[in-house]
Amino acid sequence: RSGNLDRARRRGEQAIALCRDLAAAEPDDPQHRRVLASLLYNHAVILNGMDRRAAALSAIQEASQLYEELVAIDPAAFEPLYADAQTRLGATYTGLGRTEEAVACHRLAVTTFLSLPPDVTVERGVARAMSMLAIGGCSRYAVSECQIPPKLTVSCASLSTGMMCGWSSRPF
């Protein structure tokens, strides 16, 4: 497994370098930044899998920043990706023991997901972000403090590992 992750890490670094070159050569093309953000997000996943959390943090911070910039260009396309990157950033902070920063990221992810029109991807994203708030030492921060629109139904059930939360625009 570690050999596969290391190979994926090396290939990811090569792809990131090529994409950085493209973004520098054509700075007005947002697609290069979109691809770079995606590569950095995936690189952070790999680095977290290798327990290289500091390097993962750097990669996911950059991905999140790129997605935030892209939201200004096309909110409908990039807000879900930005929210998902915030969830990953929060998980990385949790892995580093930086709970307050993790909570801030997860709250931002939940708030962003909840501002989007409901669909399956958004429902899964907000459920994951809310679960991350409740699991990993964040449960002392009230999940209910997120600005949840009244039209949505929120369901939380305690589990032995913490609390799993989900939301839907449909009644449960």
Does residue 148 carry a pLDDT above 90? no
Predicted pLDDT of residue 132: 76
Q: What is the mean pLDDT of residues 64-84?
A: 95
Predicted pLDDT of residue 39: 98
Q: At what angle do helices 30-49 and 2-25 cross, to 10 degrees?
A: 160
Q: Residue 11 has which token pair?
A: 């290939």
Q: What is the mean pLDDT of residues 115-120?
A: 82
Range of lowest pLDDT (118-122, 130-134, 158-162): 158-162
Does residue 140 carry a pLDDT above 60? no
- The per-residue pLDDT for range 43-72, each reduced to its tens digit, is 999 999 999 999 999 999 999 999 999 999
Write down the number of H helices and E strands in the chain: 6, 2
Predicted pLDDT of residue 154: 43
Does residue 169 carry a pLDDT above 50? no
Does residue 157 carry a pLDDT above 90? no
Q: What share of the chain is helix, strand, coil (3-state, %, to 5)?
A: 70, 10, 20
What pTM was computed for the model? 0.77
Per the listing, tokens 């307050």 go with 100
- Classify residue 157 as exposed, middle or buried by CB count within 10 Å of its CB (0-12, 13-18, 19+): exposed
- The per-residue pLDDT for range 37-49, each reduced to its tens digit, is 999 999 999 999 9
Could you tell me how many residues make up the chain?
A: 172
Range of lowest pLDDT (9-13, 48-52, 130-134, 152-156): 152-156
- Classify residue 131 as exposed, middle or buried by CB count within 10 Å of its CB (0-12, 13-18, 19+): buried
Predicted pLDDT of residue 2: 62
Task: Please give the backbone phi and psi of residue 23, each rounded to the nearest 5 degrees, phi first.
Answer: -65, -35
- Using CA atoms, how far apart are residues 172 and 160, in angstroms rounded to an integer? 22
What residues pair up with 154 in beta bridges, in sequence order? 167
Q: At what angle do helices 120-134 and 99-114 cross, to 10 degrees?
A: 160
Between 22 and 152, name the one with better pLDDT: 22
